[in-house]
Amino acid sequence: MLKLESRPQASRLWTYGSPVLALCVTVLIGVALFTLLGKDPVRGLQIFFWEPVRSQYALGELMVKATPLLLIALGLAVCFRSNVWNIGAEGQFVMGAIFAGGVALLASKDTGAWIVPTLLLAGVLGGMAWAGLTALLRDRFNANEILVSLMLVYVATLLLSYLVFGPWKDPMGYNFPQTRTFEKVTQIPRLMAGSRVHIGLLIALASAAALWVFLFRSRAGFAQQVGGLAPDAARYAGFSSRRALWTALLVSGGAAGLAGALEVAGPIGQLTPYVPAGYGFAAIIVAFVGRLHPVGMVFSAILMSMFYIGGELAQSRLGLPKSLTGVFQGLLLFSLLACDTLIAYRVRWVRADGAKAGA
């Protein structure tokens, strides 16, 4: 029979091999799922893994989806490496969109190009302010940051609904719950003609490079991780665990807020109740599949955006529900959790006579 045996030390091979195995398991389960639903599994996999990369336009859409996922995941990686569990990035994303949208609504046709960096800064501040509430309650009252950040997601979503159904509602919008379309001057500059890819992609890649330097090549990054993981050791070394808490949440909130600002001033162009697209929750999976490493998260963000696009295409071409996106995301997460067992344990085949064979 098979038996799990504890390893003397964590397997470096499976630390990076586990996400690959988890993806393979997800694909196999996906094949079975398509078959049970009476759909051609080859066509289903083609829609999820080939259609999003088959043309220049498709690649552009892939990058549009990957940009907010990567930005939010980079901020969450700072939190998780600091042992701060920010589960409310979705709310910080929404607040960044609200703050940026408020600035965009002030613009007119005569407004200068300065409005773009201003609204991006507003988005960052909005996300930081929302994450700061979680930091304050954790710091002053030792409130659980998981529950606080998660509950604030619903507060942010309700605030957005109040604004688009109420004071910010477009009077010329045929009673639809949305703001007026932002002026053209507020649009984020695009990288290519005929594509929706914008400078947010460059910002996200630059942020990944900056995070790598911060985490692995700076004393501040080392102090950040020690302050969260071992507060007593951090105090002995002169590092502040309190500073680590605030830094982690403010950086994470700022990154999510920036993603929200880029989304409403880029692909969407206005505030609607549908701004919360689940990016804040999906970015948690992106962070862990990418092993909380900036380079790994670049690839996992692309993979997750393929799931988003594949789910939309499966709805229109195969007649499947759009919720299939969430199914694949969940399968990937649970497969990863299962495969991560191999990091700390090895599988042994134990024969009836008690002898062991390595596996």
Q: Taking the domains of the chain in order of start, what are their residue ranges?
A: 64-290
188-202, 231-245, 324-338: segment of lowest average pLDDT: 231-245
Contacts of 265 (CB under 8 A, 6+ apart): 100, 101, 104, 116, 119, 120, 182, 186, 187, 188
> Per-residue confidence at 356, pLDDT binned at 50, 70, 90?
low
Write phi, then psi, for 11 (nearest 5 degrees): -80, 120
170 three-class SS: coil
CA-CA distance, 332 to 310, in Å (whole number)? 14
User: DSSP labels for 119-130?
Assistant: HHHHHHHHHHHH
8-17, 137-146, 148-157, 233-242: segment of lowest average pLDDT: 233-242
First vs last C-alpha separation in the chain:
12
Percent of the chain as helix, strand, coil, to the nearest 5: 70, 5, 25
CB atoms within 10 A of CB 105: 18
CA-CA distance, 263 to 283, in Å (whole number)? 15
Q: CA triplet 333, 339, 343: central angle to 5 degrees?
A: 125
How distant is the alpha carbon of residue 237 from its chain centre?
33
> Per-residue confidence at 354, pLDDT binned at 50, 70, 90?
low
**Residues 122, 103: contact at Cβ < 8 Å?**
yes
pLDDT tens per residue across span 54-107:
989 999 999 999 999 999 999 999 999 999 999 999 999 999 999 999 999 999
Quote the pLDDT of residue 65.
95
Query: In the predicted model, what is the mean pLDDT of residues 40-64?
Result: 92
Instruction: Decide which of 16 and 351 is more confident.
Output: 16
DSSP assigned state of 318 = S
- The three-state (H, E, C) secondary structure of 206-270, written as one string: HHHHHHHHHHHHCHHHHHHHHHHHCHHHHHHHCCCHHHHHHHHHHHHHHHHHHHHHHHHHHHHCC
* Percent of the residues in the chain that have a pLDDT greater than 90, as a whole number: 77
Instruction: Decide which of 209 and 230 is more confident.
Output: 209
Instruction: Decide which of 1 and 355 is more confident.
Output: 1
Residue 205 has pLDDT above 80, yes or no: yes
* Percent of the residues in the chain that have a pLDDT greater than 70, as a whole number: 98
Residue 228 has pLDDT above 80, yes or no: no
Strand partners, 71: none
Write phi, then psi, for 169 (nearest 5 degrees): -65, 135
pLDDT tens per residue across span 271-308:
999 999 999 999 999 999 999 999 999 999 999 999 99
CA-CA distance, 58 to 56, in Å (whole number)? 5
pLDDT tens per residue across span 154-186:
999 999 999 999 999 999 989 999 999 999 999
Does this model's pTM top 0.85? My answer is yes
Residue 359 has pLDDT above 50, yes or no: no
Pick the closest to residue 176 from 161, 165, 160 (CA basis): 165
Highest mean pLDDT among 149-158, 222-231, 342-351: 149-158
CA-CA distance, 18 to 11, in Å (whole number)? 10
Beta strands in 23-177 (DSSP E): none
pLDDT tens per residue across span 114-153:
999 999 999 999 999 999 999 999 999 999 999 999 999 9
Which two three-digit tokens encode residue 281? Answer: 């929750």
Residue 51 has pLDDT above 50, yes or no: yes
Instruction: Decide which of 339 and 353 is more confident.
Output: 339
CB atoms within 10 A of CB 247: 21
Average pLDDT, the chain: 92
Quote the pLDDT of residue 357.
52
DSSP assigned state of 184 = G
Pick the closest to residue 72 from 52, 58, 53, 91 (CA basis): 91
**Residues 157, 94: contact at Cβ < 8 Å?**
yes
CA-CA distance, 241 to 222, in Å (whole number)? 12
